[in-house]
Amino acid sequence: MQILELTCRQLRDKIAGGEVKSVDATTAVFEQIEKHDRQIGAYISTFKEQALAKAKQVDEKIAAKKPVGLLAGVPIAIKDNMCTTFGATTCASKILENFHSPYNATAVEKLLAADAVIVGKTNLDEFAMGSSTENSGLKKTVNPHDFSRVPGGSSGGAAAAVAAKMCFAALSSDTGGSIRQPASFCGIAGLKPTYGRVSRYGLVAYGSSLDQIGPLAKNVEDCALLLDVIAGHDEKDSTSVDEKTAPVRDWLSAVNNKPQNLKIAIVPELFKGADGEVVESVKKAIEIYKSSGAEIIEIKMPHFDYAIAAYYLIATAEASSNLARYDGVHYGHRTKNPADYIEVYSKSRDEALGDEVKRRIMLGTYALSSGYYDAYYLKALKVRNLIRSDFTAAFAKADCIVMPTSPTTAFKLGEKTNDPLQMYLADIYTIAVNLAGVPGISIPCGFDKNNLPIGLQIIAPAFAEEKLLQIAMLFENKTDFCKTAF
């Protein structure tokens, strides 16, 4: 088997066992990047010299029989909204195009401590605001399965890199579906952990009460391995949950355990909003679970329809606050020859921020303004609590909820760029998970008539990642839908 065909776990085991050199695996990844990334556009920056030096260091440790980390020598990519001391941290925005962070994000530090080889930073919708990676201020990314289609967003670059074998896994972030939706479009696995499970320290903030770091990988087992590495309490992040409340498990060892007396909830009304081929594939997946002994129950989630409205008020309000720091004074792009300090602020932002980012800042600022706060933002917070209550009621009856990840497969480039509302609706199935703070995973469950991947979303109670991964693995073990693009 060629190196690039291996999963993250398989490669880790072969490197640790001395069967494969990390240098060879890293070299193979960069050859793949050089061969394909000019067309795909997954990476904003790569670190070939640094990565090969790290790979050589891991190989030398193994040859000397010294202990190595959980990701010993495995080439990993990072979404370019996580701070690193190496390379720029751009958030795919012209305002941060030349920003170099003085520190690493905690999740990045954990990758390095686990002996991962970081090969580069991937493209995204600017400041993670989008569902197609067409809002990047720096470059375009396409879907490796079909270059005329989007890879999803905002983590389109990371998902495309994994699907095109230009890394073995990627670290990404999910604010309203930004891990799960591109995973669905690119035919890979994407895990959004419980809010607070993984430190957000060093993740450039978009929606602080919604953002969560998680893995994109070739399969469920690799997601479990990455979660083993990045999870845990961090005193630098006040929203990071302590070990007593949410102890870190050995998810990789537990992932193949079959869940007992499995009860799966479905919401029949939600299937009406998806394309026929998506619905058909998800229903077949449910039948596979049923034939494996799972009990399928129907439930109602009466406030699910309000999730998009609530999300786009809460997320944009938080974005308005978080992005106020990009003002042409503290750091980032500064306009040339301003007439006064007001022009420093207004022109710097106007020149360097994209249309979607401006749109969300304006929406959020309006929602927080005097006279509108109670009518919009406060009401959205109340709806958020109702959505949380829907999930609590559902999990009192079932172990998980199953639904489509996206209402469609990957759409054409440019198809929705002129209609923001249609673009927002691409996240209709994923947004509620972030509002409730619960974990969710997308795994491939089929292909449409154009041979484009279809994603199955599984949602579990807060901090129930072990059961979530086991339920996903049960389906993956009985099917063969996890296929990379090349």
Q: Active site residue: 21, 54, 79, 110, which one?
A: 79
**Residue 454, both tokens:** 């279809």
Q: Active site residue: 132, 154, 173, 199, which one?
A: 154
Name, in order, each residue with C-beta under 8 angstroms of 110's C-beta and a sequence gap of 6 or more: 229, 230, 232
Rg, Å, the chain Cα set: 21
Integer Cα distance of 281 and 274 in angstroms = 11
Integer Cα distance of 426 and 458 in angstroms = 17
Q: Which of 192, 161, 153, 160 is nearest to 174 (CA)?
A: 192
Q: Tell me whether residue 65 is one of the annotated catalytic residues.
A: no
Integer Cα distance of 312 and 450 in angstroms = 32
Query: DSSP label at 372?
Result: T
Q: Active site residue: 178, 184, 348, 406, which one?
A: 178
Query: DSSP label at 273?
Result: G
CA distances from residue 254 to 194, 225, 277, 347 in whole angstroms, order as listed: 18, 11, 33, 53
Q: Tell me whether residue 346 is one of the annotated catalytic residues.
A: no
Q: Tell me whether residue 154 is one of the annotated catalytic residues.
A: yes
Residue 263, number of CB atoms within 10 A of its CB: 14
Integer Cα distance of 149 and 406 in angstroms = 15
Name, in order, each residue with C-beta under 8 angstroms of 35's C-beta and a sequence gap of 6 or more: none
Active site residues: 79, 154, 178
